[in-house]
C-alpha cells in the first residue's frame, strides 16, 4: 500500500506545483507584460495626444507685400469615438440607424451606430443652453465617423468670435469628446491678384495620414497642401513642423487640462520676384480683353515682375474647401467638353499658343548665330516650295512686294519672304539649334506646375512624336514665321529679354528667395545666366541690328505703331497667328522692351480671338509700358483687392488706347519701409476696388500691320 500512497502524494504535489506555475505565468503576463494595457482600463485619468499641423509660411512680393498668409480662427471639434464611449458609459441601449449603401454595385441595407442621434442627445443641448450651437451636416458627420472613427476630429465650428471662444473655454471641461483649439487658415489678402502664380490649397484627406499615426496620436490634424502654383512647388518650404498637444482626461471622458505642449513650427517665407503694383497694372490692363496673358520681366536679372492671365479665380474660394457649384464655374474638361470654356484656372503665361510673327525675332537670332544678320534678301511677294507658297501679307493684300530688304527693314515690315529665305540659308538644324538655345521647345524651368515647353520642329521631342518624318523646306519656312510651332508668353518674353540686355539669356525667375523662420536662407537671391549669345556666335552689332528693326516697327510706320509713346522710345514686334481656318480665330501678340536706349523691361502680351497683334495686343503693351515708366518717374501705382474677372469668348477686333490707372492713394503704404514689420492679421485688409470690369471694343488705327491678311498656315503637328 505504501508505494501506491507515495505515488498519489507525488502526483498531488506535481499538480499543485503545475497549478502554481500556471498561476505565476498568468500573474507575470497580467502584472508585468500587459501591465500598461490593464492600467489603462482602470477608471482614472488618462492622456490624449493631439497632432497639430505646422503654421504655413507667408508668400510675399519682392517688396514684402503679403500675398498669402494665415488667419487664426478658434474652432470646436468633436472626437466622435469619445462621445460614443461617454454615451455607452451612461446608457445600456445601443441607438442604431439603418441606411441604404452601395457595395460592389449593389444596394443593401446596413445597420450602423446612430452617432448623429448621440451627438444631438448629449452634446448639442448643453451648447444650446450656452447659445453656442450651430447647424451641422448630419451626413458629413456620419460619414466622418465611419471613415475616421476617433483618430481625426470632426470640425463642428471654425467661426468662433473671441467672446464665444471664452464661453466655450469656460464650459468645455463639462463636454466629453468636445475640444477647443486654434485653427490656421490660408488667406489671400488681395483676392485674385496673382492667383495663377500663387495657386491654391486643398484640405488634407485620410490618405494623407501616415502609417502608424493611430499608435502615436489619439487625434490627428493634418496639413493642408498646395496643389497649384507656388503653393504647390514650394509646399515643402512653406509647411511648418508639426506640434503636439497632450490633454488630461478623467474617467468620465471630460478634459481636465493640458499637461504637455510642443508648439507647431512656422514654415519658411517665400518672397516672389513679382511686384504687386506691377502685377495689379498688368491684370487691370488685361481686363480689356476676354482671354489673355501678360508677362513683364526685368531684363538685367530675368526676374518676372508680373505674370497675369485672364480670366482668373479667387484662391480664397478653395479655403477650407471649394463648393461644387464654384468648382463648376472654374473647371473645364476638354474631354467631356463641359464646364467653363474660358478656363479660369489655366495659366496662359506658361501655356502653348501659336506665336506667329514674333518668332521672326528667333529666326533673326538663329541667323545671327550662323553669321547671317547682315544678309539682304528680296521680297517678291511670296516664296514657292514646290506646289506650296508662303505669301507675304502685302502680296495677299494687294499683290505687292517689299523688294530688297535688310534685317531691320524686314523686322519693321514683318516680311515673310525675308525670314523664309533667311531660314533657308540657316538650315533645318541651325533653326532647331538656335531656337533650342533661346529656350523654345522645352520648359524654362520656372518653378510653376504644368509649364508647357512649346513645340519646335526637328528637336528631340518633335522627332520622338514624328519618327522618320523629314523637315522640309516648306516646314522650315512656316517655322521661321511662327506657324506650325507653339510657344508660351514666358518663353517669348525671355527671348526679348536677351535681345534687350545684350545677349544674356537668364533663367526666368519667379521665386526671389526663401527664408526659414530662424532666418536661414534656403533659396538665395541669385540670377542665373543660361546662355550668353555673344559666346555662341552672335555679335553685339547683330543685337543692335535686331533692336533697330524693333524700334523701326514702332516709330517708322511699322507693324507695332500702336505701341508708340511720345516721350519714351520703345522697340517692339507684333504677331498674329491664325489658329482656326474655319472660325478665323487668332492668337495675337506684341512683344516689346523699354526704354530703348537703356532697356529695363521686357513685355509680352498675348490675346486670344483678337483681330491682329497690332490692333489688339499693341495698345495693351503700350499701356503696360506707360505705367512702368510712370512708376520709375515716381508715380505710385495703385494696389487694391482684385475681384474675379470671368473673361469671355467673344472676338475682339481691336482695342482703343487706354487711359492711365489713377495714382495710388497717398495713405497706401503697402510694401514701404515704415519702421515696423507688419505681417499677417496685423497688416489689416487692403482697400476694396472702386471700379468694375471695363469693357473693350473701340477701334484704333495702328498703322501698317502684317496681319491685314493672314498667310496660309498648316495645322500644328
Question: Over the stretch 544-579, which tens digit does the pLDDT of each residue have?
Answer: 999 999 999 999 999 999 999 999 999 999 999 988
The CATH architecture annotation of domain 46-89+111-272 reads: Alpha-Beta Complex (3.90)
CB 197 within 8 A of CB 228: no
Query: What DSSP line would sit under 391-441, residue for residue?
Result: E-HHHHHHS---EEE-HHHHHHHT-HHHHHHHHHHHHHHHHHHHHHHTTTT
State mean pLDDT over 197-223.
Answer: 81
| Grid cell locating 516 | 526659414
Strand duo 292-298 + 304-310: pairing: antiparallel
Return the C-alpha torsion angle 561, 567, 571, 577, nearest 10. -30
State mean pLDDT over 24-42.
Answer: 69
DSSP H or E segment with residue 603: strand 601-608
Per-residue pLDDT at 690:
39
Instruction: Give the three-class secondary structure for 97.
Output: strand
State mean pLDDT over 7-13.
Answer: 76
Burial zone of 6 (CB within 10 Å; 0-12 exposed, 13-18 middle, 19+ buried): exposed
CB 579 within 8 A of CB 267: no
Task: Please list the residues that pair with 309 across neighbouring strands.
Answer: 293
Per-residue pLDDT at 104:
63
Summarised one tens digit per residue, pLDDT across range 675-695 is 333 333 334 445 444 333 333
DSSP 57: P
- Whether the pLDDT of residue 3 is over 80: the answer is no
How many Å apart are CA 276 and CA 60, to the nearest integer? 9
| Grid cell locating 649 | 469668348
Per-residue confidence band for 463, with pLDDT thresholds at 50, 70 and 90: confident
Contacts of 603 (CB under 8 A, 6+ apart): 294, 295, 296, 297, 493, 496, 590, 591, 592, 593, 594, 621, 624, 625, 628
Per-residue pLDDT at 465:
86
Task: Please list the residues that pair with 24 across neighbouring strands.
Answer: none
Q: Point out the least confidently predicted range of 170-184, 370-384, 662-676.
A: 662-676
> Which single residue is written with the C-alpha cell 489689416?
684
- How big is the CA angle at 80 (ends 78 and 81), to the nearest 5 degrees? 135
State mean pLDDT over 640-663.
Answer: 91
Q: Where in the chain is the domain with CATH 3.40.710.10?
A: 276-335+342-670+684-708
- Whether the pLDDT of residue 497 is over 90: the answer is yes
Q: How many beta carbons lie within 10 A of that of residue 171, not counting itself?
A: 15
Per-residue pLDDT at 664:
77
DSSP H or E segment with residue 113: strand 106-113
CATH 1.10.760.10 fits 276-335+342-670+684-708, yes or no: no
DSSP 442: S
DSSP H or E segment with residue 163: helix 162-171
Q: Where in the chain is the domain with CATH 3.90.1310.10?
A: 46-89+111-272
- Whether the pLDDT of residue 155 is over 90: the answer is no
Amino acid at each position: 500500500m505504501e508505494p501506491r500512497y507515495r505515488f498519489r502524494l507525488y502526483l498531488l504535489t506535481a499538480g499543485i506545483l503545475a497549478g502554481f506555475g500556471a498561476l505565476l505565468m498568468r500573474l507575470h503576463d497580467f502584472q508585468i507584460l500587459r501591465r500598461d494595457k490593464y492600467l489603462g482600463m482602470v477608471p482614472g485619468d488618462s492622456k490624449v495626444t493631439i497632432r497639430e499641423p505646422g503654421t504655413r509660411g507667408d508668400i510675399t512680393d519682392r517688396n514684402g507685400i503679403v500675398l498669402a498668409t494665415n488667419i487664426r480662427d478658434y474652432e470646436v471639434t468633436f472626437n466622435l469615438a469619445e462621445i460614443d464611449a461617454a454615451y455607452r458609459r451612461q446608457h445600456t441601449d445601443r441607438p442604431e440607424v439603418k441606411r441604404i449603401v452601395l457595395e460592389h454595385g449593389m444596394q443593401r441595407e446596413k445597420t450602423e451606430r446612430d452617432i448623429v442621434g448621440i451627438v444631438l442627445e448629449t452634446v448639442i443641448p448643453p451648447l444650446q443652453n450656452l447659445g453656442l450651437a450651430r447647424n451641422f451636416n448630419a451626413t458629413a458627420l456620419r460619414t466622418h465617423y465611419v471613415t475616421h472613427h476617433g483618430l481625426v476630429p470632426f470640425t463642428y465650428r471654425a467661426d468662433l468670435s473671441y467672446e464665444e471662444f471664452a464661453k466655450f473655454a469656460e464650459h468645455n471641461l463639462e463636454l466629453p469628446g468636445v475640444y477647443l483649439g486654434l485653427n490656421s487658415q490660408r488667406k489671400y489678402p488681395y483676392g485674385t491678384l496673382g492667383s495663377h502664380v500663387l495657386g491654391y490649397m486643398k484640405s488634407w484627406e485620410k490618405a494623407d495620414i501616415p502609417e502608424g499615426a493611430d499608435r502615436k496620436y489619439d487625434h490627428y490634424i493634418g496639413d493642408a497642401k498646395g496643389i497649384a502654383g507656388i503653393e504647390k512647388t514650394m509646399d515643402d518650404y512653406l509647411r511648418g513642423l508639426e506640434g503636439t498637444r497632450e490633454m488630461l482626461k478623467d474617467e468620465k471622458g471630460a478634459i481636465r487640462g493640458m499637461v504637455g505642449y510642443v508648439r507647431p513650427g512656422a514654415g519658411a517665407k517665400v518672397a516672389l520676384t513679382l511686384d504687386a503694383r506691377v502685377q495689379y497694372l498688368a491684370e487691370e490692363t488685361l481686363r480689356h480683353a476676354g482671354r489673355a496673358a501678360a508677362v513683364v520681366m526685368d531684363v538685367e536679372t530675368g526676374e518676372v515682375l508680373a505674370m497675369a492671365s485672364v480670366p482668373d479665380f479667387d484662391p480664397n474660394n478653395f479655403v477650407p474647401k471649394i463648393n461644387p457649384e464654384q468648382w463648376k464655374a472654374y473647371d473645364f474638361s476638354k474631354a467631356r467638353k463641359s464646364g467653363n470654356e474660358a478656363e479660369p484656372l489655366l495659366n496662359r503665361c506658361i501655356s502653348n499658343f501659336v506665336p506667329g510673327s514674333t518668332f521672326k525675332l528667333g529666326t533673326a537670332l538663329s541667323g545671327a548665330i550662323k553669321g547671317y544678320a547682315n544678309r539682304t534678301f528680296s521680297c517678291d511677294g511670296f516664296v514657292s516650295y514646290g506646289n506650296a507658297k508662303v505669301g507675304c501679307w502685302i502680296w495677299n493684300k494687294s499683290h505687292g512686294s517689299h523688294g530688297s530688304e535688310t534685317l531691320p527693314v524686314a523686322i519693321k515690315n514683318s516680311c515673310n519672304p525675308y525670314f523664309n529665305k533667311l531660314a533657308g540659308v540657316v538650315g533645318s538644324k541651325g533653326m532647331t539649334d538656335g531656337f533650342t538655345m533661346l529656350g523654345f521647345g522645352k520648359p524654362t524651368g520656372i518653378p510653376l506646375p504644368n509649364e508647357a515647353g512649346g513645340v519646335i520642329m526637328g528637336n528631340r521631342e518633335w522627332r520622338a512624336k514624328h519618327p522618320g518624318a523629314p523637315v522640309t523646306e516648306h516646314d522650315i519656312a512656316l517655322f521661321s514665321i511662327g506657324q506650325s510651332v507653339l510657344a508660351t508668353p514666358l518663353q517669348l518674353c525671355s527671348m526679348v529679354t536677351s535681345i534687350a540686355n545684350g545677349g544674356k539669356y537668364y533663367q526666368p525667375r519667379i521665386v526671389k528667395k526663401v527664408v526659414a523662420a530662424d532666418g536661414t536662407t534656403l533659396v538665395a537671391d541669385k540670377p542665373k545666366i543660361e546662355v550668353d549669345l555673344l559666346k555662341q556666335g552672335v555679335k553685339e552689332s547683330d543685337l543692335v541690328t535686331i533692336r533697330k528693326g524693333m524700334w523701326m516697327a514702332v516709330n517708322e510706320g511699322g507693324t507695332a505703331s500702336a505701341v508708340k509713346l511720345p516721350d519714351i522710345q520703345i522697340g517692339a514686334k507684333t504677331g498674329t497667328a491664325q489658329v482656326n481656318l474655319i472660325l478665323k480665330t487668332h492668337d495675337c501678340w506684341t512683344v516689346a522692351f523699354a526704354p530703348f536706349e537703356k532697356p529695363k523691361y521686357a513685355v509680352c502680351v498675348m490675346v486670344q480671338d483678337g483681330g491682329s497683334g497690332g490692333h489688339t495686343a499693341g495698345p495693351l503693351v503700350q499701356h503696360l509700358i506707360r505705367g512702368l515708366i510712370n512708376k520709375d518717374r515716381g508715380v505710385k501705382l495703385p494696389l487694391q483687392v482684385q475681384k474675379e474677372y470671368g473673361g469671355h469668348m467673344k472676338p475682339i477686333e481691336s482695342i482703343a488706347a487706354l487711359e492711365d490707372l489713377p495714382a495710388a492713394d497717398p495713405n497706401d503704404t503697402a510694401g514701404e519701409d515704415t519702421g515696423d514689420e507688419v505681417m499677417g492679421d496685423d497688416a489689416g485688409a487692403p482697400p476694396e476696388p472702386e471700379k468694375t470690369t471695363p469693357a473693350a471694343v473701340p477701334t484704333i488705327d495702328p498703322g501698317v500691320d502684317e496681319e491685314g491678311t493672314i498667310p496660309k498656315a498648316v495645322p500644328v503637328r
